[in-house]
């Protein structure tokens, strides 16, 4: 599989995943009791990591390789968008997931997951659309 197609496939995987998280998974957290959410979250986190981590690492490596090959507006902008998704994930979402895991979360924490996740949804959606346009222009 050529690099452009693989990037597109990984980007599409992350777009589908982030929209599921935004529209189904995070809002679903609001329907759990506090104890039930803590219990479910301990199972959910390693399971979702099996899906998310390879996609995120693959995306980072692919856009890093593209940036090494060519320094264009597209390669630089795309790599910056990938870095934004990583930064958001580890500065905004990992701490909130830790709050859920250790039971210190509140209803505000859960609402923030949904609200703040629109930023990652936007970044990954725009990156996918940009990549799609670049591949078919």
pLDDT tens digits for range 44-77: 999 999 999 999 999 999 999 999 999 999 999 9
Q: Are 46 and 12 in contact (CB under 8 A)?
A: no
CA-CA-CA-CA torsion sign (21, 22, 26, 27):
negative
CA-CA-CA-CA torsion sign (98, 100, 102, 104):
positive
- Tell me whether residue 39 is in a domain: yes
Residue 53, domain extent: 3-130
- Tell me whether residue 137 is in a domain: no
- What is the C-alpha to C-alpha distance for residues 20 and 16, in angstroms, rounded to an integer? 6
- Tell me whether residue 62 is in a domain: yes
- What is the C-alpha to C-alpha distance for residues 105 and 110, in angstroms, rounded to an integer? 7
- Tell me whether residue 44 is in a domain: yes
- Count structural domains, the chain: 1
Q: What is the pLDDT of residues 78-110, one digit of tens each?
A: 999 999 999 999 999 999 999 999 999 999 999
* Helix, strand, or coil (residue 106): coil
- Tell me whether residue 19 is in a domain: yes
- Tell me whether residue 20 is in a domain: yes
pTM over 0.85: yes
């Amino acid at each position: 599989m050529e690099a452009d197609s693989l990037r597109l496939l990984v980007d599409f995987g992350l777009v589908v995943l982030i929209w599921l998280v935004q529209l189904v998974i995070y809002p679903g957290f609001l329907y759990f009791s506090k104890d039930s959410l803590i219990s479910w979250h301990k199972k959910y986190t390693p399971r979702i990591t099996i899906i998310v981590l390879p996609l995120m690492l693959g995306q980072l490596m692919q856009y890093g390789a593209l940036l090494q090959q060519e320094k264009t507006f597209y390669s630089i902008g795309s790599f910056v968008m990938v870095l934004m998704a990583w930064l958001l994930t580890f500065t905004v979402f990992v701490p909130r997931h830790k709050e859920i895991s250790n039971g210190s979360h509140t209803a505000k924490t859960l609402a923030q997951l949904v609200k703040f996740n629109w930023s990652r949804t936007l970044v990954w959606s725009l990156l996918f659309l940009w990549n799609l346009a670049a591949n078919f222009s």
